[in-house]
Amino acid sequence: MLLFIGTIPMGSFAQKNETVWFDGLARSYFARDVIGETLEQDTLSAKNASNGYNLVDLNTHINPIENIEIFAQLRIKNQFGSFFGSGTSIDVRQLTAKGTIKNKVRFSIGDIYLKQNRFTLFNYNEDLSSYENNMFKSYRDIIHYENFYTQNRWRLQGLQTDFSFEFDRFIRTLEVDFFITRPRGSTALSNTTYSSDLLLSGGTILSKLNKKLTLEGNYINLFELPSSGTTNISVNNPVYHSALTYLGNSKNANFKHTLQSGFSERNWLHSELPNGASDSTSNSTEGLFFEFENEYFKNDSTLKITLGYRYVDPNFRSAGAQSRRLNFLPENTNTIYPMYTNSSLTRPRSIFDLLTDETLYNQDISSNLMVFNPIYSNVLPYGDATPNRNGIYLKSQLSTKRKNLVSIINSGFFREVIGQGTAYRRNFILLKGAVKFNLHKIFSWEKQMSLSVSSENEITNRLGDSIESLSLNSHQINVFLSTEIARKLFLQFAFKQFYANGKEFLTQRDNYGNITNFVLTNFDQKDQLISAGISYMLRENVYANIQYNWWGMSFNDQAYPNYNYRRLLFILSVKL
Amino acid sequence: MNIIRCIFLALFTFQIHLFISQESTTTPSFSSNISNLKNPSSEITFSGFYRFLGYVRNQQETFPNNSGKTTAIVVGDFYREPMLLLKLNGKTKDNVSFGADLMINSIYKGPAIENNRSLTLDLGLNLRTSIVTNFGVFNFSSGGVSWYRQSRLTVWGNRSFNRMSIFERRPQTPLNNNPLNRYSNYYNDGLIDQGVRYGSRAFQGLFLNATKLPYNFSIKGVVGKSNFNRSFLETSDNFTGCFKIQNKLKENFTIAYNYLASSADVDSISNNKRKYFIHTLEAHRKWDKIKFHFEAGLGNYSGPEENLGYGEALIFNLKANKSAKIPFNLQLYRIAPEFVNVTGNFLNTSVLEVFPNVAGVGATIRTPFRSPMVGLGFPTNNRQGGSINTDFSIGRLKINGGIGIFAEIDTSYADVSYIHNVNGQTLSRIYLFGRSWGPYNFLNSTYRNSFEDVSISDTNNYGLANFKKFFNTIELQGKYNTTIFNHNFYIFSLTRLNSCQKKMHGLPQIGSNALISQLSQEIDISYSITKNAVLVLSYAIERIIGNEFTDIGDSPDANSSSLFFEWLGLERFNTYNNARNQRNRLLGIGLDYKIGANAILFLRHNQYRYYDPNFIENHLKGSETMLELKITF
C-alpha cells in the first residue's frame, strides 16, 4: 500500500566512482592591529598586536556503497609564528553519515544543518549585515564559516529523515520531514548534579495540492529531558505552524501569496517525582502569529516586490527562530583591545567588532530571548519572528535588464502589540536601501568597475510622559567602490559609518524570560570604518585579499572616551 | 471505521493512478536538511615515510650528577622527528596547491592514552599558487614552515664542504635504491642529499617568487617570521622580511640587490624594538671553468641593550671546476660585528639577544656564540679571513682539503667555543638542547651536535678578551674505492685541525701557542656484503688541548698533551698541561640492509668515550645501539 516514488535526486552521489574523495577549505589569515591617535592616552595597551594562522579543513567523503556517504571534516591549524609543531591543532569539526534507503528515504545522522520556516526554525542574518559589500566579504565569510552559518540554517547534531509521495489526483505530492537533535548534552554541574539533555525535534508535512497551491504544516519542540539530569526543572517550547501558498502567473510575471499562522507554548516543568508530589508547570506562555505576504516578480528578474502584513504576539516564543547570531552578553568581551585608555575601561563594541570578531557569535539554540543591542537592531531583533510586533512591510528589488543598475529596498512599519512597562506602545520604522551602479556596463568598459551605496535606518518612537517617552534613531551608510585594475585583480575602497542617537530602555529578564527591569540608556555615538585594499579573485570562494582598515568610535556627551584603531589584514581563502 | 475505509479507498485509488501516471513534479521535495553536491577537489595525494628508531644507550661511565640511570631505552627520534610522516598534497581546479605534513608518533611505552596520542604537524600548512601573466610568472605561497634561501648574507642555510663522517644517518636523508648508493654518491659527488631544508632557513609568512619578468628581472621575497629575533608575547610585533631583485645581464652573469629587515618588540606595550636590517649587492659570473660570486653589504643593528650602528660585510668566492688544471675554491670574507643576522650563512657572535628564547619557536637552538672555532665554509661575524680549498683525484683516490686563516675584527668575549667533531651527536643525545651542562657547565647541545665554551683568563677591564683572536683551520679528506672479493669497498678519511690563538700564524698551532687546539681524525668504511647489504665501520678520535689562559682543570697533576710522544717515550717532545686535555673516541659498526623496495633497515652500534684527565669529572663512556627502519611511500 505504500506509495513511494523516488523523487530524491541521488545522481549527486554517483557523479564519480571514487570511494573516498575530498573537498574543504584552506585559509591563511594575518591581522595586525595598531592603536590610532586619540585624545585619551592609552599607554597600558600594546601599541600593536598581531595574530594569524593557517588552516586546512579537509572534508573527507567516504562512499562505501552507493547512496551512502560518511563525511568527516578534519581541521588542521597552525598559528602564525609557531615553529616546529607548537601552536598546531588537529580537530574533528564535523562528522556525519547520510544517504538514502532504497532510493526513497533520505537520512542524515550527526552534524546536520536544519531549517524549516521563518517562525519555527530559522537562523536569521546577524545585525547590520544586510547590504554588506565585497570589501568585507572576507571578514564575513570567516564569521559565517567558523560559526557554521549557511543558508540561514542552524547547525545541529542528531538525526534527520525525509521522504515524499507523488500522486496524480487530488493532490500532487505529500512530503514528510522529521528530525530530532540534541543542541546541548547533559553535563556535570558538580560531582552529584547534572544538567538535562536539551532536545529539539520537529516535523513537516507539505503537500503540493496542485500546481498553484501548497499546504504545509510544521511542528517543532525544544525541550529538556528531565530524567537525563538531576535538575528538576525543564523547559518545553512547542511551536505549531501552518501555511498555504498560492503561485500564480501572467505572461511576464509570477505571483506568490502566502498565508501562514501558528502558535507557541512555553513552560517550565517542575518535576517532583523524588518528593512523591505531582509535577507542576510555571511561567507558561502562549502566543500566536499571523502573516500574509504577497510577492510579484517579473520573469526577466528586473523587478520583485513583496508586500506583507505580520502580527506576532508578545508571548510568541519559538527558540529555533528567535535565537540570535549575535550574542551581546556582557561577559562576551571584544577580542581586539578589550580594554582601553589608562583607566582600563572596557571598550564599547563597535561595528568593526561585529564585522570581524567571530567569537561574538552564537551557535546555540536559546530557550529564552537573547540580549540584543537596540542601536543595531531594534525593529526586528529576532527577525520576522520578533514577538510583540504588528505591522506591514514592503520589499523590492529593481534592476535594469543589463544589470547596469541594481537596487534593493526594504521597509517596514511596525508597532508593538502591547506596551512594555507602560500603556504606550513603541512605533518602529525600518528603511533600508541599496543601489549598485555597474559602471563598466554603463560606459561599456572592458574591465569591471562598480559603485555601491546603501543606507539602513531604524527609527523607534514611543509617546508618553518624560519617563515613558523614547526616541532612538540609528543609521548605517555603506559606500563601496571596486575597480578591476588587471584581470581578476580589484582595487577596492569602502566607507562604513554607523550613527545612533536617542534613548531606549534595555530590558532585563530573569531565567524564565520574564521582564524584571528596564534600564534607560542614552545613545549618541558614531562608528566609522574606512577600508582600502586589493583583492585577487580567482573565483567567488577563492581569493586573496589585502586591506587596511581605519576604524573607531566617537561619543558625544557620554562617559566613554573616543577611540581609533587601525588594522592590516591579509586573507587567502581557498575553497578546495 | 468508515474513516479508515475512506482512507483506504483513497490510497488505493491513488496507487492505481500512480502507475498509469506520466506526470511528475520537477521541484525537489521538502527537506529541512541541506542538500549538497559532490564536488571533489581535483587532486589530493599522500606521500611520506614511516621511520622506526629504536635506541639503547648503556653508560659505563657517567657524569657525577647522573641520577643512577645508566640505561636508556627509547623509541622514536630524540629531536622531534616523525615516526610516520603523512604528507598531504592537493591541487584545486584553480591551480592552488595546498599541503600539510601530518606527523604521527608513538613512543611505544605502554598502552596508556598519553603515550599514544601524538598527532601534530611536522612543519605546518602551506598554500601555493602560480599566476602566469604576460609580465611574468608569479608564484605565491603562504603559511609555513617553508624553506627559503636568498643570498649568503641575508638568508642561507649552512652549507659547507660536506666534509663529515657519514656513519650516522639523518632522518631527512632519503632512501636510495640501493644501500651502497649512499656511500658511492658520497665518494663520487661528496654530497649526501639532506632533504629540502638543507641549505635553507625556516620561514613562515607570505612568499613571492616572480620570474620571467621584463628585462630579465626576477624577484623573490618573504614577509613573515623566522624562528629568530622573537618577542616574548606572541601577539607582539616580530617580523622578518626580505627580498631579492635579480637581473640577468648575460647568460652567465647575474647581479642582484638583497634586503632583509627583522624587528621584534621586546616589551609588552611595544615601546622598545630590537631590529636589524641589511642591504647587499651580489654578482654571479660563470666562465667555462671558473665561477665567481661576490656579495657585499651594509647592516645595522639597534636594540634596547645597545645600538651597534652600521657594519660592513663582504663575501668573495672564486671557484675553478674539477676539470680545470688546478681545481680550487678561494673564499674570502669580512663581516663586521655590527653586521648582525641570524638567518644568513654565517654565525652571529656579537648579539646574543636575537637568538630565540621563546618556547615553541626553536628556543633551544642556539649556535656557538662566543668566538666559535669552526670549520671551513662557516663564516662568522666580527671576523675576516680566507681559505683555499682544492679537490683532485689520483686514480681511485679522491682528495679534497683546504686551509684557512681568520682573525677577529674587534676584541670580543673572553671565551672561545668549539664544536665537537667526534661524539657530537652522542653528547647532544645525553642532554637534549641543554645549555651549559655537564659537571663544569662547559657543554651545550644543539640539533644533532654539541659544542663547548672555553673561558679565557686574559681579559681587559671590561671583561672582554685582552686581544683579538686568530683562527687557523686545516681540513683534509681522502676517499678511496676498490673491490674486495668483487664487492665494493669504500674508505673515507677526514682529518681536521683547528686552533685559536693570540697571534696570527700560517698554520694551526698545537700546544701552548694556541688557546685551544682541536685535532680530529675520522675513518669510515663501507663494504658491500651483498647487493642489499652494506657493512659500515667507523673509527674517530678527537684531541682538544687548551693552554694556561683557558680553564684550568681540577686534577692535581698535569697530564700529557701529546699521547703519541708519551707512548713513544720521547719525553723531550712531550708536554704537559692543566687545561683542557680532552681525548674523545668513537668506534662504530653498522649494517644497512634493504628489505624491500623503499624499505631499508639501518643498524648502528658505537662505543664512545669522552674523557679529560685534567677535568676529573669529565668522563663518559658507554655504547649506543640504534635500529632504524625507514619505509617511504
> In chain B, which residues have their Cβ closer than 8 Å to the Cβ of A3?
11, 14-15, 18
User: Are residues A403 and A422 in contact, defined by beta-carbon separation less than 8 angstroms?
Assistant: no
Among candidates B24, B227, B235 on the partner chain, residue whose Cβ is nearest the Cβ of A50: B235
Report if residue A366 sits inside a domain: yes
What pLDDT is attached to residue B3? 46
Task: Tell me if ipTM is over 0.85.
Answer: no
Strand, coil or helix: what is A320?
helix
B207 and B70 in a single domain? The answer is: no
Give yes or no: residues B102 and B53 share one domain. Answer: yes
Query: Which residues in chain A are contacts of B120 at CB distance < 8 A?
Result: 85, 88, 90
**Residue A272: which region, alpha, beta or left (left: phi > 0; alpha: psi -120 to 50)?**
alpha
Q: Which of the residue ranges A19-23, B311-315, B412-416 would you say has the lowest mean pLDDT?
A: A19-23
Contact list in B for residue A8 (CB cut-off 8 A) is 28-29
Beta carbons of B175 and B594 less than 8 angstroms apart: no
A390 within domain boundaries: yes
Partner-chain contact B18 A167, CB within 8 Å: yes
The CA distance from B45 to the nearest CA of chain A, in Å, is: 10
- Examine the domain organization and report whether B98 and B206 are in the same domain: no
CA distance B327 to chain A (A): 40
Q: How far is CA A406 from CA A129, A398, A451, A520, in A?
A: 18, 6, 11, 40
Kindly indicate the confidence band of residue A9, based on its pLDDT and cuts at 50, 70 and 90. very low
- Per the structure, the complete domain to which residue A362 belongs is given by 11-575
Same domain, B583 and B476: yes
CB–CB of B33 and A113 under 8 A? yes
Tell me which residues of chain B, numbers 147 to 206, contact chain A at a CB-CB cutoff of 8 Å. Answer: 202, 204-206
**pLDDT at residue number A330:** 81
Contact assignment for A84 to B145 by CB distance below 8 Å: yes
> What is the mean predicted confidence (pLDDT) over B31-52?
77
Domain assignment present for B76? yes
Q: Is the pLDDT of residue B544 over 90?
A: yes
DSSP category for residue B181: H
**B57-91 pLDDT per residue, tens:** 999 999 998 888 889 898 888 777 888 888 888 88
Taking an 8 Å cut-off on Cβ atoms, the answer to whether A81 and B230 are in contact is yes
Q: Let me know if residue B519 belongs to a domain.
A: yes
Q: Determine whether the interchain pair B236/A539 forms a contact, defined as Cβ–Cβ distance below 8 Å.
A: no
**In a shared domain, residues B234 and B355:** yes
CB within 8 Å: A113 and B14:
no
Same-domain pairing of B65 and B153:
no
For an interface test with A, the pick among B6, B30, B208 (most A C-beta atoms closer than 10 Å) comes out as B30
Query: Is pLDDT at A4 greater than 50 in this prediction?
Result: no
Residue after which a domain boundary falls, among B65, B100, B126:
B126
The CATH number given to whatever domain includes residue A474 is 2.40.170
Residues of B in contact with A81 (CB under 8 A): 204, 225, 230, 234, 238, 361
Residues B522 and B617 in one domain: yes
Determine the residue type at B177.
Answer: N
Cα distance between residue A120 and residue A218, in whole Å: 8
Dist CA B160 CA B174 (whole Å): 20
| Cβ contacts from A onto B, under 8 A | 232
pLDDT higher at B198 or A260: A260
DSSP B422-474: SSHHHHHHHSTT-SSBSTTS-EEEETTEEEEEEEBS-B-TTSBBSS--EEEEE
Q: Do B116 and B220 lie in a common domain?
A: no
Same domain, B480 and B347: no
| One domain for residues B122 and B145 | no
Angle at A118 between CA A117 and CA A122, to 5 degrees: 80
Contact A321, A114 (CB under 8 A): no
* Binary contact (B98, A574; C-beta < 8 A): yes
Which residues in chain B are contacts of A83 at CB distance < 8 A?
Answer: 144-145, 202, 204, 227, 360-362
Q: Evaluate whether residue A3 is within a structural domain.
A: no
Residue A556: HSE in the Cβ half-sphere, 13 Å Cα cutoff: 9
Confidence of residue A258 (pLDDT cuts 50, 70, 90): very high
Report chain B residues whose CB lies below 8 A from the CB of A177: 30-32
Residues of B in contact with A56 (CB under 8 A): 88, 98, 100, 125
CB atoms within 10 A of CB B530: 12
Strands A427-438 and A405-415: antiparallel
For chain B, give the mean pLDDT: 86
Range of the domain at B229: 133-162+197-359
Q: Based on the domain organization, do B527 and B585 belong to the same domain?
A: yes
Going by pLDDT thresholds of 50, 70 and 90, the confidence category of residue A189 is confident
B153-172: pLDDT as tens digits: 999 887 666 788 889 888 77
Q: How many domains does chain A have?
A: 1
Which chain A residues are closer than 8 Å to B41 by Cβ?
21-24, 576
Instruction: Mark whether B231 and B276 lie in a shared domain.
Output: yes
Closest in B98, B204, B234 to A576, CB measured: B98
Query: Which residue from A78, A168, A208 is facing B124, i.e. has the nearest CB?
Result: A78
In chain B, the number of structural domains is: 3
- Name the closest residue on chain A to residue B122, using Cα atoms: A85
Question: pLDDT tens digits for B595-621?
Answer: 988 899 999 999 999 999 999 999 999
- Nearest CA among B406, B338, B413, B336 for reference residue B371: B413
CB pair distance less than 8 Å for A83 and B362: yes
User: Among B71, B105, B126, which residue terminates a domain?
Assistant: B126
- The interface residues of chain B toward chain A in range 247-266, judged by CB-CB distance below 8 A, are 265
According to the model, what pLDDT value does residue A2 have? 37
Residues of B in contact with A85 (CB under 8 A): 80, 103, 120-122
Contact B227 A84 (CB under 8 A): yes
The pLDDT-based confidence of B519 (bands split at 50, 70, 90) is: very high
Which residue among B17, B80, B269 sits closest to A43, beta carbon to beta carbon? B269
